Amino acid sequence: MIDKAIGVFDSGIGGLTVLKEIIKLLPHEDTIYLGDTARVPYGTKSAETVTRYSLEITDFLITKGIKLLVVACNTASAVALPALKERYGLPIIGVIEPGARKAVATTRTKKVGVIGTEGTIKSGAYEKAIKAIAPEIEVISKPCPLFVPLAEEGWTDNEVANAAADIYLKDIKGVDTLVLGCTHYPILKAAIASVMGKDVRLIDSGEETALEVKRVLSEKGQLRGQRGLSPTHIGKRTFYVTDTPERFAKVGLRFLGGGLEHAQRVEIP
Ligand code: DGL
């Protein structure tokens, strides 16, 4: 089990921001990433459809031999996690709970903002997760759908990105903590931070999820290097996509920051 890979899936490219954090924290672990680029976006689709896609992808990743699954997509984490946990026996980690936990630990004013796709915000998943820990916290949520194409276009630091951030974020008042509840939003951190101001802490769910992956694997004794296996092993990176790999490799490089030479196209039955 210990030398199996960590499986990570997302609706497309965005989940590479989560994978990046996992690789940074656990460089010795092999990873298998699947980006469902043929069916992206998930953020505008129904919970039922996103759940079906998530189950199909997990079936596929399990055939590749994984020891743990990370649902890097916030929308899929928000709507499909219960169905995934019910069907599969392996540890499954979504991005919502780690992000929510960090937000609760961070806020002093007990007022937290959450931004994400329409699907994530409509599900109320972050709000429920935050209130399950601290019911007294007030949560202000807002979908920011245009942030996704802006991040993929690389328009992260220009007047269009700043105008979008201005318009979306002006309703999120009085918070001291803002959860970046979408895979793409860390790419727009600078524009978001400049609108929110320096007193507002931005929570990157990807960073928190990587810490959770480490905690769970270590608890299970499945972390490489933990039981005599050489910690000098450099993690092998495998990438699968459901559409042609060219755009994924090109845009994904910006999200991952390197190490994305090859992605293989697969059919998800
Ligand atoms: N990966 C999605 C998320 O984090 C954003 C892109 C999409 O809508 O599929 O919610």
- Residue 234: CATH number of its domain: 3.40.50.1860
* Confidence class for position 229, pLDDT limits 50, 70, 90: low
User: What pLDDT is recorded for position 230?
Assistant: 60
Q: Which ligand 1 atom lies nearest to the CA of residue 181?
A: 4
Helix 159-169 with 189-196: angle, nearest 10 deg: 50
> Which positions ≥6 away from 159 have C-beta within 8 Å?
none
Region of poorest pLDDT, from 70-74, 204-208, 226-230? 226-230
pLDDT of residue 130: 98
Q: Which residues line ligand 1 (CB under 6 A)?
A: 10-12, 14, 40-43, 73-75, 117, 120, 148, 182-184
The mean per-residue pLDDT over the stretch 85-91 comes to 97
Is 73 tagged catalytic?
Answer: yes
Q: Are residues 117 and 194 both part of a single domain?
A: yes
183 and 62 fall within a common domain: no
Q: Are residues 30 and 56 in the same domain?
A: yes
Catalytic one of 121, 169, 182, 213:
182
Quick check: 215 pLDDT over 70?
A: yes
Domain co-membership, 82 together with 118: no
- Of 22, 23, 73, 144, which one is the catalytic site residue? 73
**130 shares its domain with 193:** yes
Residue of the nearest CA to atom 6 in ligand 1? 41
**pLDDT over 80 at 264, yes or no:** yes
Residues 107 and 236 in one domain: no
For the chain, how many structural domains are there in total? Answer: 2
pLDDT the model gives residue 53: 98
Could you say which of 187, 205, 223 is where a domain stops? 205
Q: How far is the CA of 232 from the centre of ligand 1 (A)?
A: 34
CA of 153 to the centre of ligand 1 (A): 15
Residue 227 has what pLDDT?
63
Total residue count of the chain as it appears in this document? 269
| pLDDT score of 233 | 85
What pLDDT is recorded for position 1? 81
Judge whether 144 counts as a catalytic residue.
no
Same domain, 103 and 158: yes
The minimum-distance atom of ligand 1 relative to the CA of 145 is 8
Among 205, 231, 256, the domain boundary falls at 205
pLDDT per residue as tens digits for the range 97-149 = 999 999 999 999 999 999 999 999 999 999 999 999 999 999 999 999 999 99
Pairing state between β 31-35 and 92-94: unpaired
Say if residue 129 is in the same domain as residue 55. Answer: no
**CA–CA separation, 177 and 115 (whole Å):** 11
Q: Find out whether 55 and 80 touch, Cβ atoms under 8 Å.
A: yes
Q: Given this model, what pLDDT does residue 21 score?
A: 97
| Range(s) of the domain holding residue 225 | 5-95+207-265
Say if residue 228's pLDDT is above 70: no
The verdict on 195 and 133 lying in the same domain is: yes
Same domain flag for 240 and 218: yes
Could you tell me if 182 and 211 lie in one domain? no
pLDDT band for position 259 (cuts 50, 70, 90):
confident
The residues that bridge with 111 in the sheet, in sequence order, are: 138
Return all residues near 151 (Cβ < 8 A) that are at least 6 apart.
14, 184, 185, 187, 188, 255
